[in-house]
Copies of this chain bind each other. A is one copy, B any other.
Amino acid sequence: MKYSTKLSDAIHILIYIIINSGKPITSDQIAESIRTNPGCVRQIMTLLKKQGIIKSVVGQPRPSLAKNVSEITLLDIYNAVEKDKAFLHLDMQTNRECIVGIHIQSTLQNYYDKIQNAAEKEMQEITLQEIMNSFYEKTVN
């Protein structure tokens, strides 16, 4: 596969919505900003909508945030678009007749969980509010 940029694109979409709130916002416009096509944008937006991060009405080009920016974390967005995908993956096809093959993968799961939790804890502490602030700082300079 190629590297997933869904999280990056989702945040791009959210910021685009925030910045242009009030004006009509079509998936075509957003697609042009991300340099992809409208169908792709709508797919990501559908995932964000399912998680209650954004709101939208069929036929109306007026998407909006469903929560306050300070209540949306990077983890919320990640889980929405990547469906809780883990960073590390076990090899599930090892030889069950070998003592190492039997036990090693279940042993590792515990440690992989710890690593995932550490990353997710960090993601949970980063809000869209914070990202917006950093973004605005950049636009000034």
Contacts and interface: CB of A to CB of B under 8 A. Distances in A.
Interface of A: 1-5, 7-9, 11-12, 15-16, 19, 32-35, 74, 87-91, 93-95, 98-101, 103-108, 110-111, 114-116, 118-119, 121-123, 126, 131, 134-135, 138-139
A122 B131 contact: no
A106 B8 contact: no
B5 A90 contact: yes
Contact of A95 (B33, B108, B121): B33
Nearest to A105: B8
Q: How many copies does the complex hold?
A: 2
Nearest to A89: B3
A93 to B, nearest CB: 5
B35 A95 contact: yes
A40 to B, nearest CB: 11
A53 to B, nearest CB: 17
Contacts of A15: 100, 104
B88 A7 contact: yes
